[in-house]
Structure 1
Amino acid sequence: MAQGNEADGRIAELVENILAETPLKAASFIVTIYGDVVEPRGGVVWIGNLIDTCAAVGISETLVRTAVSRLVAAGQLLGEREGRRSYYRLSKAAGSDFAAAARIIFGGPQAESWQLVHLRGADAEERMQSLERAGYARLDPRLAIGPAREVPGSADVLMLRADSPDPKALAAFVDAYWDLAPHAAAYHRFLAQFALAARLAETSPFTPAAALTMRLLLIHRFRTVLLHDPRLPAAALPKDWPGMEARRLFSAVYRLLSPLADAHIGRTFVSGAGPLFAITGETEGRLALLETQAA
C-alpha cells in the first residue's frame, strides 16, 4: 500500500508540474478530449464526462460549460438532449479537421519533398497567411514554398514540385526562410516534461483514471508542438532534430498508458446511446501506427 501511495504521489506531482509549466485552456483541452477519446468512439459524449475529465487537471465545471458553449457558437460542437442529460457531438466540419489532425499525430512524418505554391486572386494575402500557419515560407506576396502536402484553400493556385540534391544548399535555404529554434525548444520542453511519465508508465501502478489524465496531457502537449511545427522534410532538418525523439517518446508513452486509459473510458464515458466502447477499430489502428514509430 505504501508503494502504491508513493507512486500516486509521484504521478500527481508530475501532473502538477506539467500544468504549472504549460497551463491549460478549457476549450483547447476539450478539443483534445474529443480528438483522443470521443471522435474514435462515435463523436458524442455526455457533458458530465467532460466535466469530470477536466476536473482532474484543475478546470472547473463553470469553465467547461463556458468553453462548450463557445465551441457550439463556433460551429465545432452540436448539442442534443436525452432526458435531463446534455450530450455534444462534433459538427461535420470539426470532424474533418479532427481527422486531418489525427493523421498528422498518429501517422508519422509524411512530406519528403518540396512544393512551390503561387497564389492568384484578390484574396492572396489572406491565403498566404493561411499557408504560413501551415508551415510554408513566404518568398514574395504570392509565392510560398513548403513541404509537399495538401494546401489550405487549394482553389486558384499553381503548385510546382521542387527539390535539391545538395544538402548544404538545402540547409542554407532552410536557415534563410525558417526559424526552427522555437520549435526545437518546444520539443525539448516536451521531452523534459514526459521523460518521467515514460519511466512511471513502465514501473508504477497508474490508476485507470490517472492513466487517462496523463495520456490526455501527453497528446495535448504533443499536438500543440507538432501542429505548430512546419514539419519540414527530414533531409532539411538538423541531424539532432529533437522532433524525432519527441515522436518516439510520444508513441511509447501513449501505448503504455492506453490499456488502462481505454478501460477507464469504457467504464465511465457515455453517449445518448449508451457506454462508449473501450476499444474500436480506429483506436486499434492508431496504436498499430504508433508501434511502428516507437523504435
Structure 2
Amino acid sequence: MDKPLKDILRLFQAEPSRTWSIVMTFFGDMVLPRGGSIGLSTLLSLFHAMDVGSGTVRTALSRLSADGWVERTRIGRNAYYCLSSRGMALSRDAEPRIYGTFSFKTQRKLRLAVASASVRSLVGDEAALVATRMREAGYTAFAPGAWLGVDDGNLPDGIFGLDVDGSQVAMQCLAAYFSLDDLARSYLRFEKIFSPLAKMCTDPAEQKGVFHQDGLSAVVARTLLIHEYRRIALRDPHLPEALMPSDWVGYRAQTLCATIYRALLPASEAWLTENGRGGDAGRLPAPAPAFYERFQEVREAQSGGFV
C-alpha cells in the first residue's frame, strides 16, 4: 500500500468509528451495480486491508441489519449480505448527487417545495422521515413546511413543487438562505486529503504501478474516496451556477473525485471480478453498461479528457 493511501487511512482511523457507514458506501458504490449481494468473506477482506477487525465489521453489519438497511442470507456455512429495499432506495436516490448527474454547472431552475396541510401536521418519526426524504431529494429547508432545491428532485407524496422566478433579484434573495461556508470548508478538506492520491493516480510512471499490482488497495482507495465525497455531496444543495462563486471549490472537488475514481476503476473492478463472491456463491456479475457512465458529465466538461 503506497504512502498517499496510508496517509488517508490514518486520517480515517483517527476519527470515531464509522464502519457501518463505510459498509453502506461499499454496497452502493461497488456491490449494487454487480447484482447487489456480497459474501461476508469479501467484506472482511476489504476491512482487513483497512486494519478494521472482523468483530467490528460483524457488529456494524448486525446494527445495519437491525435497523433495516441490510439483509442477511446463508448458503451452507457462508453468509451473504445485500441492501434491503429501504437501503437500495436510499442508495439509488443518492447516486445522481454523487456521480455527477446533478452536474454543478448545469443550468437548473430553482424550485420551491411546499408541504400540504396533512404533511405539516406530521410529528415525531413521520416528520423526521419527510425531512430526510427532502434532504435526499436535494432540498434545503428555509421555513416550516417549505424547502428550496433544483428541478431534479423527486418529491414525497404531499409535497408540491413550484418553479421560482429566475430574475436576478429573486435568485439573490433565495441564495441568502443557503450557507456555503461549512460546505466550502468540507470541500477544501477533501481536496487536501485526496490531492496526493490524485497526483499518484495521474502520474504516467505510477499508472501501471501500485494499484494495478494490488487491486485490493484500489478497492480501499475507491471506497474511502466515495465515502468522504458522498458525505459532502449529499449536503450540497447543488444550486445553479448563477448563484455560486466563480471560484467555487465544489467544482474542483468534483473534478478531483472524478479523476481519481476513473483512474481506480480498472484495478478495483478487476479485483471484484476475481475475488468478490455473490449470493449464489459464484463470482459477481459484470456491471451494467450504465455503471460506466458515472461522472460522465464531469468528463464531458473537461477539455482535456480523463486519464
Q: What TM-score comes out, normalization by structure 2 length? A: 0.83
Partner of 2:177: 177
Residues of 1 paired with 2:46 and 2:293: CA distance?
Answer: 24
Bigger shift: 16-25 or 182-191?
16-25
The answer as to whether partners of 2:201 and 2:263 remain within 8 angstroms in 1 is yes
**Aligned ranges 1:10-29 → 2 under 5 Å:** 10-20=3-13, 24-29=17-22
What runs of 5+ residues in structure 1 fail to find an aligned partner?
A: 1-7
- Which segments of 5 or more consecutive residues in structure 2 lack a partner in the other structure? none
For residue 31 of structure 1, the aligned residue among 21, 24, 28 is 24
For 1:253, the equivalent position in structure 2 comes to: 260
Identity across the alignment (%): 27
Is 1:47–1:87's contact at 8 Å kept on the other side of the alignment? Answer: yes
In 2, the alpha carbon distance for the partners of 1:162 and 1:84 equals 57
Give the distance between the partners of 1:74 and 1:293, measured in 2 at CA. 40
User: Does 2:165 correspond to 1:163?
Assistant: yes
Match among 124, 149, 152 for residue 149 of structure 1: 152
Alignment partner, residue 34 of structure 2: 41
- 1:227-280 C-alpha deviation (Å, 9 max, x unpaired): 011221222111111111111111111001111111111111101320114554
In the alignment, the residues of structure 2 paired with residue 287 and residue 81 of structure 1 have an alpha-carbon distance, to the nearest angstrom, of 35
CA gap 1:138/1:269 in 2 versus in 1, 3 angstroms:
closer
Alpha-carbon distance change, 212 to 281 in structure 1, aligned in 2, over 3 angstroms: same
Tell whether 2:117 aligns with 1:121. yes
One-letter amino acid of the structure 2 residue matched with residue 171 of structure 1:
Q
8 Å contact kept, 2:38–2:80: yes
The residue aligned with 1:4 is none
Q: CA deviation at 1:9?
A: 4.2
Q: How far, CA to CA, are the matches of 2:161 and 2:27 in structure 1?
A: 34
CA shift for structure 1 position 192: 0.9
TM-score in terms of structure 1 length: 0.86
1:75-94 aligned at under 5 Å gives the runs: 75-94=68-87
Query: C-alpha separation between the residues in 1 aligned to 2:301 and 2:77?
Result: 44
TM-aligned CA distance change 1:59 to 1:111, over 3 Å: farther
Q: 1:173 to 1:104 in 2, by over 3 A?
A: closer
C-alpha displacement of 1:23: 5.3
| Deviation sequence 1:77-100 (CA, Å, 0-9, x none) | 121111100001222232222122
Q: Which has the higher contact order (CA 8 A, sep 6+)?
A: 2
Matches within 5 A, 1:1-295: 8-20=1-13, 24-106=17-99, 107-109=101-103, 112-124=108-120, 126=127, 129-130=131-132, 133-134=135-136, 135-153=138-156, 155-166=157-168, 170-174=171-175, 176-203=176-203, 204=206, 205-206=209-210, 207-273=214-280, 274-277=282-285, 279-286=287-294, 288=296, 291-295=299-303
1:223: Cα distance to partner?
0.7
How many residue pairs get aligned? The number is 285
Q: Is the 8 A contact 1:116 1:161 kept in 2?
A: yes
Q: Residues 249 and 218 (structure 1 numbering): CA distance in 2 closer, same or farther, change over 3 Å?
A: same
